[in-house]
Amino acid sequence: MCPVRGGTDVTPPGAAPAVSRAVAILDAIAASESGSMTLSDLSRDLGVPKSSTSTICTALELGGLIRRGDLGYSLGRKLVELGGSYLARLDQVSEFHRACLESEILRGETLRLSTAAGIETLCLARYEGHPAIRLTTNIGDRLPASSCAQGKALLARLDDSEIERLYHGIDELPQLTGRSRRTVPRLLKDVQLARARGYAIDDEESADSVVGLAVVAPTRGVRAPILAISITKHKSEWNDDVRDRLVAELTRVATSLGNPMATG
């Protein structure tokens, strides 16, 4: 979580300010449209003196986490190495790819493996069928949980009161398309329906002309991340029979990811 809100440093109690600000710098650069930010921009975003920001940037640069160029600071190659190391140790990523490839139903589809990141979802892995749907998320991308099937599936594991606390103070939800849910009460209706069905759907809410479908993989242990498997289809290819067939196969694959001893 970024420790800066609206240019004000709000380092959590007990956290090291320099570390929290370093995280905020990485978050800010990652969120910038150009992929780079000047020292002045970072200082203003963090709400801390330029001298302090410069000291932290120097440490991050020495560690390879950011690099300095003509347009300012951008993310460094070390982050790719760290992300690759994390994903390499997440066995479910390789199992996800294998399950998609071995499934006669899924091998030609476009799927994502995601986890919860606050009120967003974080894409951990992708499987591209043929032809792939290019309007979907890539590895490392985040989407508003309220606007995508995987987000609703992950939210469905929480109680309504927990979801309301998660979105406390947010009057209008992020809009990716004209069909994205705008309010928490409307989102809760979708989440409640996802709980009852055992799967979640977004109907052109994250991308125009695209339908998303997602299920959650059973958790392997208390420290294991909660994962959702999602599939995207062009709206023109979507119908009830397609939905039922994909739900059954996604549920089977999700079960195998949650329990490696499960049989197909």
pLDDT for 24-71, tens place per residue? 999 999 988 888 999 999 999 889 899 999 999 999 999 999 999 988
Distances (CA, A) of 197 to 152, 190, 191, 216: 12, 10, 10, 12
Residue burial 176-192, b: 16+ Cβ < 10 Å; e: rest: beeebbeebeebbebbe
Which CATH superfamily, name and number, covers 90-258?
Answer: GAF domain (3.30.450.40)
Residue 121: pLDDT band by 50, 70, 90 thresholds?
very high
Neighbours of 55 (CB within 10 A): 13
Work out the mean pLDDT of the chain and round it to a whole number.
86
Residue burial 66-91, b: 16+ Cβ < 10 Å; e: rest: beeeeebbbbbeebeeeeeeebeebe
pLDDT of residue 1: 40
Could you tell me which CATH class the domain 4-80 is placed in? Answer: mainly alpha
Q: Summarize pLDDT for 70-118 with one digit per residue, the tens.
A: 889 999 988 877 776 665 555 778 888 889 999 999 999 999 999 998 9
129 half-sphere exposure, CB direction, 13 A CA radius: 20
Mean per-residue pLDDT, 205-210 = 93
Q: What is the DSSP annotation of 159-220?
A: -HHHHHHHTTT--S---SSTTS--SHHHHHHHHHHHHHHTSEEEESSSSTTEEEEEEEEPPS
Where along the chain do its domains lie?
4-80, 90-258
Mean per-residue pLDDT, 191-213 = 95
Mean per-residue pLDDT, 219-224 = 57
Mean per-residue pLDDT, 147-169 = 95
- Cα distance between residue 258 and residue 227, in whole Å: 9
**Fold match, 4-80 / 90-258:** no
Distances (CA, A) of 189 to 2, 163, 184, 195: 29, 12, 9, 10
> Is pLDDT of 5 > 50?
no
